[in-house]
A = this chain, B = another copy of it.
């Protein structure tokens, strides 16, 4: 195994703003990164993507590494996030997922009902099934040369289940929600199985070199307070608790982030779910969210992604306003959702530079 593929002797980290902010330590300026910064908008990504396809990149460590590094070369970001997809977990359970350009990921054979749970392969050996992600993480951590920390991630169980049942994006998630009402026991079985895999997957990423772990509950918006408390939050908590326990036994300590998009109704619970950082979508008012989260977690977010369509001066002013609203302590600047494919690199520069400019502590 070439040296750069081993998860040890990583280069010294030169910019640890993200990790300090996540832990509530002093920072000289607010760290900033952008959800989906790797892929989507960059022409150099599209070139790789056209040749190898989306999951081709995910499954080839050299390509995933290259695509992860692309935005770091271009922009003054304070973190890299490994290029991958939340749906690699359903793939590891034996489900086929194909990426339809312009439409997104599609499952040719979604879970039609609880009987289909028998189709899922288990137990899942994440080293075998998802080792390609771990390799990509290790390689990227080396190739980053300590420039910025590397974020690993996973989808949360409800969000994964939503895709596995719907088979594609949905405006209502009504098929998946139907399970929650009609098959609560089997839903919990599926969530429990997914939680086991997600825990191992996140632990594996941290062992491979990821320095922060983010859990995406991207479909929290379809649930309400009751369903979330019953079917999402228990697994979100179990993930942070089990990941931290398992990593502690290996003497690894990485901060964790929970981002529940549309989970405005559960901010208090999220602040108390065992994560150092709570991500916020753009529908949440910074002052109100700060009150509700308290001072025990770091906030991450939450500029409306569409602000990147604004003229340069407007975007600069919006980024300034955001920093003023959140303050510079316990705060990681980001968008409130992933960047959209038609946004320009120029505006990414405007956004990143504005955060740095307006948050510098002199």
Interface residues of A in 272-311 (CB under 8 A from B): 282-285, 288, 304-307, 309-311
The answer to whether A283 and B306 touch across the interface, beta carbons within 8 angstroms, is: no
Determine whether A221 belongs to the interface, using a CB cutoff of 8 Å to chain B. yes
The answer to whether B221 and A309 touch across the interface, beta carbons within 8 angstroms, is: no
Known: A225-B285, A282-B224, A283-B265. A311 touches B171 (CB 8 A): no
Determine whether A178 belongs to the interface, using a CB cutoff of 8 Å to chain B. yes
Known: A181-B306, A304-B177, A340-B174. A221 touches B224 (CB 8 A): no
Determine whether A172 belongs to the interface, using a CB cutoff of 8 Å to chain B. yes
Determine whether A227 belongs to the interface, using a CB cutoff of 8 Å to chain B. yes
Task: Give how many A residues have a beta carbon under 8 Å from the other chain's beta carbons.
Answer: 35
Determine whether A169 belongs to the interface, using a CB cutoff of 8 Å to chain B. yes
Query: Please, what's the 1-or-0 string for A338-361, where 1 marks a CB less than 8 Å from any CB in chain B?
Result: 001010000000000000000000
The answer to whether A310 and B224 touch across the interface, beta carbons within 8 angstroms, is: no
Residues of B within 8 A of A283 (CB): 221, 223-225, 262, 264-265
Cα distance A224–B171 when bound, in Å?
Answer: 19
Chain B residue at minimum C-beta to C-beta distance from A286: B225
The answer to whether A340 and B172 touch across the interface, beta carbons within 8 angstroms, is: yes
Residues of B within 8 A of A305 (CB): 172, 174
The answer to whether A174 and B265 touch across the interface, beta carbons within 8 angstroms, is: no
Q: How far is the CB of A80 from chain B (nearest CB, A)?
A: 25
Interface residues of A in 213-238 (CB under 8 A from B): 221, 223-227
- Can you list 17 A-B contacts with CB-CB less than 8 angstroms, sorted by A residue number? A169-B171, A172-B305, A172-B306, A174-B342, A177-B309, A180-B306, A181-B307, A181-B314, A221-B221, A221-B262, A224-B284, A224-B285, A224-B304, A224-B336, A227-B304, A262-B283, A264-B264
Q: What residues of chain A have their CB less than 8 Å away from a CB belonging to chain B?
A: 169, 171-172, 174, 177-178, 180-182, 221, 223-227, 262, 264-265, 282-285, 288, 304-307, 309-311, 314, 336-337, 340, 342
